[in-house]
Structure 1
Amino acid sequence: MKQSFIASDEEIEDMVSDGSSESDGNSESDEEEDDLFDFTCAICDNGGDLLGCDGPCMRSFHAKIGTGEDSYCDTLGFTEAEVEAMKTFLCKNCEYKQHQCFICGVLEPSDGPTAKVFLCNNATCGYFYHPKCVARKLHPNNKIEALEKENKIIGGSSFTCPIHWCFHCKGLEDRSQEQLQFAVCRRCPKSYHRKCLPREIPFEDSNEDIVTRAWDLSKRILIYCLYVVTSSLIFVKCCLHCSYTELS
């Protein structure tokens, strides 16, 4: 059974809403700048030559034709000249202010009086949520508190999504300590400290029956958690968020 967060989400929001951790005081400015953009492509989940969206989603994409070939990425289809000519880049979701809920995957308006999905208030997050979806994640065992949180978000209250706490111990990330660095799922708002990562989420295939679910990328680990269905070759997406949504 899932446990409620040890501290209330309001208390933890005060600590993490600015994107800080215990080690932020000693962080290099260039590392903080890098944190503003995703380090893997939102289309194919691979790294390489990426273009970051300057909008609130802060996702990154293989933008140019020919990049992302190793992962068979469709890319955004821009030429080298088109990318070089860009002063700023907004993905179609940010341009049209429509984003997908990171929990259920439904595309909704994300700005103005018609907004139905709302941005996590952590400065380096970029994920949007329906109030009901995120409230249920924040209070999985208390329907009354979940409903109260949902109504607060609808009324304009900010929130911090659960990806910013360890799913196992509920602690925050401290990048200055290797064991307290986060392993973050690409398909749902779930993170683990390196030391808390379940054995069922392995870094390498130890035999043909175990699929790799974790990759060590500098000071952050990318994972597909146990709720993401996998096969021996392909990860099956459990939501639409990481697909590049074309809007007409």
Structure 2
Amino acid sequence: MSSFSDNICAICERPNCPVRCSGGCLRSFHIQCLRLTSVPDRSWKCNDCVKRSHECFECKQRELDSELVQCSYPDCRRYFHKREACCRCNPRSLSTLDFVCPSHRCYACHGPSDMNNPLLKCFRCTKCYHYSCLPPSVQSLDSKRIRECLQPKPTWRGIRSKCLLRSITPR
């Protein structure tokens, strides 16, 4: 299974990560960002998965997994609070195992990704667009990334304040 976060470090947001969590989050990391001296074995889990506590992708507040819902989309695995404000969904869908977060539908037309019309997806927020639906104000960085929101990362991670959008593989 290929995760949306493959090769993008969950800490520094730079590419080419040799370490991947085998827990539910499927995030990737650099050895240096984890302060490890070597690549751990394939069964390695990040601290969040070990503690069963993750950050809500929408509001960025940390919570026990029992208080969160995880997107079931194979290329995602993001966590959200179960409240409507964070998951922006029909509350009834939260009681099912097939919750899909808002980042798998075009923000403009609400259509899904497909082979002929993939979504350009943000790494930091749930906005994504078909190329044909990009608003004029959105900057295209290249064929796979656009800059939409300016949602900053926490300064303790030392990340620049811009959104990175990447193409997701249509399913």
TM-score bucket (shorter structure) = 0.7 to 0.9
How many Å separate the matches in 1 of 2:10 and 2:132? Answer: 27
2:44 to 65, 72, 89: 89
Q: Given that residues 3 and 26 in structure 2 are in contact (C-alpha distance below 8 angstroms), is that contact kept between their aligned partners in structure 1?
A: no
- Name the larger-Rg structure: 1
| Structure (1 or 2) with the greater helix fraction | 1
Tell me the TM-score normalized by structure 1: 0.56
Note closer, same or farther for the CA distance 1:50–1:200 as it changes in structure 2 (3 Å cut). Answer: farther
Alignment length, in residue pairs? 157
For structure 1, the 5+ residue unaligned runs are 1-32, 66-74, 139-148, 204-213, 238-248
Note closer, same or farther for the CA distance 1:46–1:199 as it changes in structure 2 (3 Å cut). Answer: farther
Report which structure shows greater RCO (CA 8 Å, sep ≥6): 1
Q: Given that residues 187 and 224 in structure 1 are in contact (C-alpha distance below 8 angstroms), is that contact kept between their aligned partners in structure 2?
A: no
The alpha carbon displacement at 1:98 in A equals 0.4
For structure 2, the 5+ residue unaligned runs are 154-158, 164-171
| Structure (1 or 2) with the greater strand fraction | 2
1:117 to 57, 65, 68: 68
How many Å separate the matches in 2 of 1:105 and 1:225? Answer: 18
How many Å separate the matches in 1 of 2:87 and 2:68? Answer: 14
Tell me the TM-score normalized by structure 2: 0.78
Identity of aligned residues (%): 27
Verify: 1:226 aligned to 2:152, yes or no: no
Note closer, same or farther for the CA distance 1:215–1:41 as it changes in structure 2 (3 Å cut). Answer: farther
Q: Given that residues 120 and 129 in structure 2 are in contact (C-alpha distance below 8 angstroms), is that contact kept between their aligned partners in structure 1?
A: yes
- In the alignment, residue 103 of structure 1 is paired with which amino acid? E
Note closer, same or farther for the CA distance 1:224–1:108 as it changes in structure 2 (3 Å cut). Answer: farther
CA RMSD of aligned residues (A): 2.7
Deviations 1:89-137 (A, max 9, x none): 2111011110111111111110xxxx11111121221101111145762
